[in-house]
Amino acid sequence: MHAGVGDTVLYGESTFNDELAQGEIEVQVGRETSFESLISSWTLTHEMVHLTFPIVHEEDRWLAEGIATYVEPIARKRTGLISEEQVWQELAEGLPQGFSEGGPPYLRIGNFRGTRHRGEMYWGGALFCLLADLKIRESTSNRMGLEDALVSIVQAGGTSASDWSARKALSVADAKLGKPVLLPLFEQFQDEQVEVDLQELYDKLGLVYDQGEFRLNDEAPLLPLRLAIIGNGGGK
């Protein structure tokens, strides 16, 4: 679908076509968009991730959008499209948008049930994923991460082709993990205000802004987890 003159990928949408029994992605692109732009577009990756998770009820949509927002830069890094630093800079710059107060300090987040606030849906959901990833890795000595949980959902049939609820998907994932991690955290984010000190989290991960320039601190306490998340060492 052409959106006009330009060289960018614009709006994207994914769904499952029951009649054809296949996932479908539709994107708007500029008339001068190159093949390279299509390959490197975050939009296409984001929509592909959606096809690997159930099309959940509208009140739980923030979870699906959060997963796609979180997984997208990690997937692009693993395929060589962006760098480790770009992954974390994208997350560091985006995550504050998930907080409803609109400015620092970012300390409380949640009550996402049925939210239509774009920042909460995409970046609040992404923060849920980051916190879940860290919880899983800390509790398994970095042997497992959120990716293992998400893969287990797909392997059990919980893709866009299914009629699974968010809770069913997360219950399957928790069974894979051998402990309740995702479902309790989801229920907190859904109906409560969760205490999260975003700056403290950045410090532990080694996400640093030095005179306006972003850099990674490789002496940070959670460095092994940070590297494992993007596939640079530790974990799977």
Query: What would the pLDDT profile of 120-141 be if each residue is shown by its tens digit?
Result: 999 999 999 999 999 999 999 9
Residue 151 has pLDDT above 90, yes or no: yes
The answer to whether the CB of 53 falls within 8 A of the CB of 159 is: yes
Q: Encode pLDDT of 166-212 as tens digits.
A: 999 999 999 999 999 999 999 999 999 999 999 999 999 999 999 88
The structure tokens 């968009």 sit at: 33
The residue whose two tokens read 């479902």 is 183
**Closest listed residue to residue 196, CA positions, set 135, 138, 142:** 135
Do 57 and 166 form a contact (C-beta atoms < 8 A)? yes
The pLDDT, as a whole number, for residue 235 is 44
Q: Between vectors from CA 179 to CA 236 and to CA 173, what angle results, nearest 5°?
A: 60
Place 7 in a pLDDT band, splitting at 50, 70 and 90: low
The model carries a pTM of 0.93
Number of residues written out for the chain? 236
